[in-house]
Chain A
Amino acid sequence: AQSVTQLGSHVSVSEGALVLLRCNYSSSVPPYLFWYVQYPNQGLQLLLKYTSAATLVKGINGFEAEFKKSETSFHLTKPSAHMSDAAEYFCAVSGWVYGGSQGNLIFGKGTKLSVKP
């Protein structure tokens, strides 16, 4: 069964510093992986996704993530943090397997990103 582990429930960085949010997955099949962002009192918005094409995936707002099969990781990075990046970030893996029907997302527990001035 697929699962996701996000290391660090809270990450704090200074404005302009590198953002690194960690995500490791477990999957019996090649996974579909996603990063979503949730701003306070809002729904989730897709940042980027990996669906077995390029291993380095670029998303919105300057974020990118690299799929590393050998490390079963899909860490999210941004070279320079902005105050507006403060939010909750969720890594997710699709529950879908070939021939199955369950396309729901299986989420990690989330990482709250704080950005200090």
Chain B
Amino acid sequence: DTAVSQTPKYLVTQMGNDKSIKCEQNLGHDTMYWYKQDSKKFLKIMFSYNNKELIINETVPNRFSPKSPDKAHLNLHINSLELGDSAVYFCASSQGQAGRNEQFFGPGTRLTVL
């Protein structure tokens, strides 16, 4: 009965490969997010979707492509992986996008690019 789940938890891959991270929330929320946490623990927004529509797309290489098949899912596909993509990626969800409501975070996916 995990609120926000991500798969896989760990992902180790070679440079140049393509990989996907999946996120699902069972809270009935209408807004989902992807955040990236770098090696210094700094967290930054990458994307935000509201009702399956892209709301936020920060300065992220177009090798990163989010996909939201429905309100409960927001997947992240990464093409041509680079060393600098190594990080922990967190999915989150909230009800509404007005920013006053709690965001619930998944456990994270630790991506290591070799």
Interface residues of A (CB under 8 A from B): 32, 34, 36, 38, 41-46, 49, 51, 88, 90, 94-96, 101-107, 109-110
Contact = CB atoms under 8 A, between A and B. Distances in A.
B105 A44 contact: yes
Closest 4 pairs between A and B when the two form their complex, measured CB to CB = A96-B99, A94-B99, A103-B99, A103-B97
Nearest to A104: B45
Contact of B108 (A42, A45, A90, A94): A42
27 contacts: A34-B102, A38-B41, A42-B108, A43-B106, A44-B90, A46-B104, A49-B100, A49-B102, A90-B43, A96-B97, A96-B98, A102-B48, A102-B55, A102-B56, A103-B31, A103-B55, A103-B96, A103-B98, A104-B48, A104-B99, A105-B35, A105-B43, A105-B45, A105-B99, A105-B103, A109-B42, A110-B43
A38 B92 CA distance: 14
Interface residues of B, number: 30
B33 A104 contact: yes
Contacts of B101: 103
B108 to A, nearest CB: 5
Contact of A103 (B44, B48, B90): B48
Contacts of A95: 45, 99
Interface of B: 4, 31, 33, 35, 40-45, 48, 50, 55-56, 90, 92, 94, 96-108
A54 to B, nearest CB: 14
Contacts, number: 73
B92 to A, nearest CB: 8
B90 A43 contact: yes
A46 B44 CA distance: 17
A109 B31 CA distance: 24
